């Protein structure tokens, strides 16, 4: 009987703790909110210092939210901000009483003498707001976790997405007015003009960058080809260009090849040493000197490789968010789309691969928009290409494998085509020019631009694409350093999980 009573008492104490926990006052800084608002109404400099830090929701008191919203509207319209203009705007909107009335506005201006330390005060207000958001998100997670009908993977994804929003400060807005959007657009146009038309991330391929103005933030780019055309070689060449030449952070999710195999391809491309030599380790002294000199730039490059097999879209989102927030990654590359899984319990047992691919492509587009980075996904093409006659092997949009949703969701759909692979010696154009050592990057769909077939140089023994005008090997040989360096391979950012291996992907030695 005593044990039973003790158990009941213990449960009662636990319920008291929970109720007290829920009864706590949320984090707030009312005095600082009053000081910041008062300073903004008496000193223009105070407005300039905090207008980009705070938003109306950051204030705890509703009346403070209304006052700040009025100040922000006056600022957006380039109108003077003081006690009278704020009071007048609130009166016109019928919110003066909700904001505490004229007497409360006067009291706020009397609380401070200047805008000294206003930025520091504003950041404390923002910290309190973030604390309140974290409490709110945690409460929602707890409530959802007790719901047996909630899918645990959906819950994890939702929780991480909300925390990511708080971390980045990109809290969702219901809408934006045309005025603010026009200002953003004009600012972006001006920035593009300063960058000579390059509004996105340069790929390192001159004609491709001229067509696309660089890979654009929030775009989903599909690069499709039959096996052997060089999909992996193309994105590896591009990733190397972006990371080494432009110092852009690049994340590669390789579902087919190991991270060591991928980085070895990059080493071959960067050093100009044939992949056969690297595969066998048959290097002479001058090869080692070249290798050790050229590999340093690759070792310091902001490239991050994840070779998790059968990666689900849920895992990809989680990993991508961390790479963007922690390492400043600017572009995400997936090799390749058909090896991904939708993940979660909702897709199990459906047996419809086309629906699963549609789910993956939609989520990749959503990920690009959420992180505001371009997402490039490689894709296989159907065997219909192989059944066509010898002179018509060039891929078409209808050849996209397993789902028409890929074409629908993507901002850019492109193909890689090498007629040499099919034994052809000339391009199928009017000039009938030789096609040996060349490939074509075909932009078949471009939501925000033109279409084109861009010819590139392909160096098979280096698994490398480059501009057609670029000479092979000269760049590397002319920059070789005669000073012998350390023969080790520095490994600072590129992580590998498997031992050095061989892969037959795309018919290359690696």
Tokens linked to 166: 């708080």
Q: In what order do the strands lie in the sheet with 375-380?
A: 303-306, 249-254, 329-335, 375-380, 220-225, 412-417, 438-446, 452-459, 464-467
Q: Is 93:83 a contact under the CB 8 Å cutoff?
A: no
Those residues with Cβ within 8 angstroms of residue 58's Cβ, 6 or more apart along the chain or in another chain: 125, 126, 129
Give DSSP secondary structure letters for 294-353.
HHHHHHTS-EEEE--TT-BHHHHHHHHHHHHHHH-EEEEEEE-GGG-B--SGGGTT---H
Catalytic residues: 256
Dihedral Cα 357, 361, 364, 365, nearest 10 deg = -170
Q: Is 319:306 a contact under the CB 8 Å cutoff?
A: yes
Which helix (H) or strand (E) element contains residue 379? strand 375-380
Distances (CA, A) of 424 to 214, 230, 233, 432, 437: 32, 17, 21, 11, 11
Distances (CA, A) of 84 to 46, 62, 108, 109, 425: 17, 20, 13, 11, 80
Distances (CA, A) of 83 to 40, 43, 63, 80, 346: 9, 11, 15, 10, 56
Dihedral Cα 479, 480, 484, 487, nearest 10 deg = 100
Main-chain dihedrals φ then ψ at residue 322, nearest 5 degrees: -65, -40
Start-to-end CA distance of the chain, whole Å, equals: 74
Give the span between the Cα atoms of 141 and 485, in whole angstroms: 54
Tokens linked to 102: 């004229």
| Angle, CA of 478, 482 and 484, to the nearest 5° | 135
Q: Is 268:510 a contact under the CB 8 Å cutoff?
A: yes
Give the span between the Cα atoms of 40 and 186, in whole angstroms: 27
Those residues with Cβ within 8 angstroms of residue 368's Cβ, 6 or more apart along the chain or in another chain: 217, 218, 219, 220, 332, 374, 375
Dihedral Cα 138, 139, 140, 145, nearest 10 deg = 90
DSSP secondary structure letter of residue 243: I
Give the span between the Cα atoms of 122 and 364, in whole angstroms: 36
* Side-chain half-sphere exposure of 391, counting CA atoms within 13 A: 3
């Amino acid at each position: 009987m005593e044990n039973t009573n003790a158990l009941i008492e213990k449960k009662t104490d636990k319920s008291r703790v929970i109720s007290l926990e829920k009864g706590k006052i949320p984090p707030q800084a009312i005095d600082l909110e009053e000081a910041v608002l008062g300073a903004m109404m008496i000193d223009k400099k105070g407005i300039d210092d905090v207008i980009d830090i705070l938003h109306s929701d950051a204030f705890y008191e509703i009346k403070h939210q209304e006052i700040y919203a009025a100040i922000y509207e006056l600022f957006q319209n380039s109108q003077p901000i003081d006690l009278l203009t704020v009071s007048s705007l609130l009166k016109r909107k019928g919110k003066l009483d909700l904001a505490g009335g004229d007497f409360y506005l006067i009291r706020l201006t009397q609380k401070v003498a200047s805008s000294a330390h206003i930025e520091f005060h504003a950041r404390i207000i923002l910290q309190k707001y973030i604390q309140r958001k974290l409490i709110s998100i945690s409460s929602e997670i707890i409530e959802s976790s007790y719901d047996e009908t909630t899918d645990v993977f959906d819950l994890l994804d939702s929780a991480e997405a909300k925390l990511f929003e708080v971390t980045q400060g990109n809290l969702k807005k219901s809408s934006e007015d045309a005025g603010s959007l026009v200002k953003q657009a004009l600012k972006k146009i001006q920035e593009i003009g300063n960058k000579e038309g390059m509004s996105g991330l340069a790929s390192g391929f001159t004609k491709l960058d001229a067509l696309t103005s660089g890979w654009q933030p929030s775009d989903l780019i599909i690069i499709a080809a039959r096996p052997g055309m060089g999909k992996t070689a193309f994105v590896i060449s591009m990733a190397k260009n972006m990371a080494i030449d432009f110092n852009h952070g690049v994340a590669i999710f390789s579902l087919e090849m190991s991270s060591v195999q991928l980085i070895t391809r990059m080493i071959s491309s960067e050093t100009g040493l044939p992949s056969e030599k690297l595969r066998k380790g048959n290097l002479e002294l001058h090869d080692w000197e070249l290798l050790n000199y050229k590999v340093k730039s690759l070792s310091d490059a902001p490239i991050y490789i994840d070779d998790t097999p059968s990666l689900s879209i849920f895992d990809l989102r989680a990993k991508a968010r961390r790479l963007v927030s922690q390492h400043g990654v600017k572009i995400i590359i997936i090799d390749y789309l058909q090896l991904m899984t939708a993940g979660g319990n909702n897709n199990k047992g459906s047996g419809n691969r086309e629906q699963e691919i549609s789910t993956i492509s939609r989520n990749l587009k959503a990920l690009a928009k959420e992180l505001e980075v371009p997402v490039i996904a490689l894709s296989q093409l159907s065997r219909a290409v192989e059944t066509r006659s010898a002179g018509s092997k060039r891929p078409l949009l209808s050849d996209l494998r397993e789902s028409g949703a890929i074409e629908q969701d993507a901002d850019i759909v492109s193909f890689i085509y090498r007629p040499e692979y099919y034994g052809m010696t000339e391009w199928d154009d009017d000039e009938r020019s030789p096609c040996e050592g060349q490939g074509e990057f075909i932009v078949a769909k471009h939501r925000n631009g033109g279409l084109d077939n861009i010819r590139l140089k392909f160096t098979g023994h280096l698994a490398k694409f480059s501009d057609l005008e670029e000479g092979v090997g000269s760049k590397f040989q002319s920059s070789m350093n005669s000073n012998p360096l350390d023969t080790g391979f520095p490994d600072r950012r590129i992580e590998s999980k498997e031992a050095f291996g061989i892969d037959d992907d795309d018919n290359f030695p690696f």
